[in-house]
Amino acid sequence: MSVERRAPPLRGQSSRPALTHVVLLAAANPSIVERLLCGEPLDTALDHPQYSVPLDAHDRATLNDICANAHTVHEFLMTLAAAADGMTV
């Protein structure tokens, strides 16, 4: 089935689970977002000893785009959550 014809995810499911993982980590620890917004590299900011986040090239590009355009932690989290739900970016 092509991506365009795929049914939208059910409530509670994400079309981008790695981004959902980042949303949960960032919501639990806003200092992650602060580090990203200050220009810290993704791999350093998201490095967590218990919760590794395997990001593909598309997820990395999305995160970089969000970091470049978000000005606050709240804006970052809202945009990232929408991207994880497949609504933007």
Distances (CA, A) of 27 to 7, 15, 30, 33: 28, 19, 6, 9
SS3 85: coil
User: To 5 degrees, how large is the angle CA 52–CA 35–CA 29?
Assistant: 60
Q: Which two tokens stand for residue 77?
A: 């989290």
Residue 72 has a pLDDT of: 95
Q: Which residue spans within the chain are E strands per DSSP?
A: none
Give me the residue spans of the domains in the chain.
17-44+54-84
Residues 27/77, Cβ–Cβ less than 8 Å: yes
- Rounded to two decimals, the pTM is 0.75
Residue 34 has a pLDDT of: 93
Q: Along the chain (89 residues), what's the average pLDDT of each consecutive run of 10 residues?
A: 48 76 90 91 80 86 94 95 81
